[in-house]
Amino acid sequence: MKKRVSCISAIIVCVVLLSAVAAFATAKSDKKGLLVHNSIYGSTIETAYWVKAIIGHENQLDVKALPQVITVEPYDYVIIGSVTRNEGPTQPIYDFIDTFKADLQKKEICFFLNCGDTDETMILKVPGAKAHLIAGRNYLLDVFEKYPDLDLKVIGGFGGRQVMPSMGTKDNLQIWLVGKLAKEGAPWEGLDIWESLVPERVEAFANEVRTKILGLEPRENVEQFRGYWESEQPGSLKDASKKKFKPKPFTEVVNIDKLYYSRSRIKGDLDLGINLLQQWAKAEGVTLEEQVKTFYNVYYHAKKKYGEKEFTVHLVTSTLPDDPGTVHFSFRCFEKAEGRTGVETDIQKAEKLLWADDRQVK
């Protein structure tokens, strides 16, 4: 009799556990979503369906190209996905926002970009123009500025793909020009296909939509969906050893005539990064002038006089969605090497402070 009771109890426990697992696996939200995308060569379309797969096919999420959308009224939330042009979303995406602005202001909005560089500590300096933040989520800064009434809940800058033989004349010219201006090197040189997309960013974005918008648990084992992006297409038709994707190093020093650049990361968060930089600036007589501040990064002009000349270091501290639990730093000085010794010394002092107490992550 006791054995029979034990068996029945074990069966009941198994049924309860299996029911709980099944309920979790099929957990769904009642919210209705729209993912509207604008793609030129197709990569953003692939990313859109990848995001949908992680969010879950059990959840209502219409995936539509811009011309297929005549209203956003039926939806609780809207995900906007765009390729990057001129350091921001495409003009049709801006037109979409302007057309449906009144309704979009009532929705929860998520926004992702397929882009080139993903390093959100990156600064671009073009001759005759002001140095400024680029890459990843930084390409959405203009959206934040133009549409302060949009309720942007989740944002992402994933990286992307460039298929050189298929690109238009204008795009090829722009890439050639950027390559010439890239003092730190152009990673697509010598490739037929260059990919910069960081899969973990897509996965983090989609899971953030699940948790923040749908109120669901993050999906586990998300690597199974990378087939929406990955393929057997080679980086180079002529040289099989060349890879189309090469992760950008988190620790690097470039010291050439017209650039000193140093990049590293430590264990911690953005608040810690800001606090340590302020300590360094106070100790070394450096003036920190805040240029841009977001929830994920801060861009400073770090100014100090050496002799009769004032030098500016472009300093960024940032967290990255694909590297949780760390904060990243980049220091850039675009002055010529001659006379730059004091700047380099102060940067090294900053790094000594940042890396102290076993904080550095190599």
CA angle 325, 229, 81 (to 5 degrees): 75
pTM over the 0.75 mark: yes
Domain 33-228 coded CATH 3.40.50.360: yes
Model confidence band, residue 259 (pLDDT cutoffs 50, 70, 90): very high
Helices (H) and strands (E) in the chain, counts: 9, 15
Torsion angle defined by CA atoms of residues 219, 221, 227 and 230, in that order, rounded to the nearest 10 degrees: 110
pLDDT digits (tens, 9 = 90+) for 160-172: 999 988 878 877 7
Task: Mark residue 214 as left, alpha or beta (left: phi above 0; alpha: psi -120 to 50; beta: remaining).
Answer: alpha
Higher pLDDT, 167 or 332: 332
pLDDT digits (tens, 9 = 90+) for 173-196: 777 777 666 666 678 888 999 999
Domain boundaries, given as residue ranges, for the chain: 33-228, 252-355
Q: What is the three-class DSSP state of 305?
A: strand
How confident is the model at residue 184, as a pLDDT? 61
| CB distance 153 to 136 below 8 Å | no
Q: Which CATH architecture has domain 252-355?
A: 2-Layer Sandwich (3.30)
Q: At what angle do helices 270-284 and 341-355 cross, to 10 degrees?
A: 140
Contacts of 305 (CB under 8 A, 6+ apart): 311
pLDDT digits (tens, 9 = 90+) for 305-318: 999 899 999 999 99
Average pLDDT over residues 99-109: 97
Model confidence band, residue 26 (pLDDT cutoffs 50, 70, 90): low
